[in-house]
Amino acid sequence: MDKSLVQKIIRRELNRYRKLLSLQDWTITIKYNWIGDEDDATCGDCEANPNYKTAAITINPDMAANEKELIHTLRHEMFHILHASFETYRNTVEKLITDKEFKAVEEVFDRCREDLVMCLESMFDKGLKIPLEKKKIIRKK
Ligand SMILES: [Zn+2]
């Protein structure tokens, strides 16, 4: 997609999702770069720092075929900000174990992260019209 169109869409949707996800107190910066190798590229990336409530999202404009895919990527990366507090756990574990052990833990951590984001995507895609509780049962005396 054209980079200036990508930037325009991202600016608009970033503010919308910032409100929807209650991330108004986060400083979110957007970068536009190619991510990954030539034959193994990624649509987006997010690095969030929960201590400073900052997040750097990278969008790969060349990977988005259309506006819908672009917004999906932005939303996906913003969902990653929601679980940023787990980074504190991850960073602590990294200091306590060997590199080899951390590599194994990291694989599980990444899987859990992506599973959580996929659950959030599914909830949003279904419209979030989920009532807090089922209709109350009123018993007649
Ligand atoms: Zn992801």
Percent of the chain having pLDDT more than 90? Answer: 66
Q: For 3-125, CATH number?
A: 3.30.2010
Instruction: Single out the residue of 72, 20, 7, 3 nearest to residue 44, CA to CA.
Output: 72
The CA 114 to ligand 1 mean position distance, Å, reads 5
Is the per-residue pLDDT at 137 higher than 80? no
Give the pLDDT score at 131.
62
pLDDT band at 133 (very low <50, low <70, confident <90, very high): low
Q: In which residue are the tokens 């970033």 written?
A: 14
The CA 10 to ligand 1 mean position distance, Å, reads 17
Domains of the chain: which residue ranges? 3-125
Is the per-residue pLDDT at 27 higher than 70? yes
Tell me how far apart the alpha carbons of residues 115 and 119 are, in angstroms, rounded to a whole number: 6
The CA 81 to ligand 1 mean position distance, Å, reads 10
Give the pLDDT score at 138.
73
pLDDT in tens, 113-130: 999 999 999 989 888 766
The CA 82 to ligand 1 mean position distance, Å, reads 12
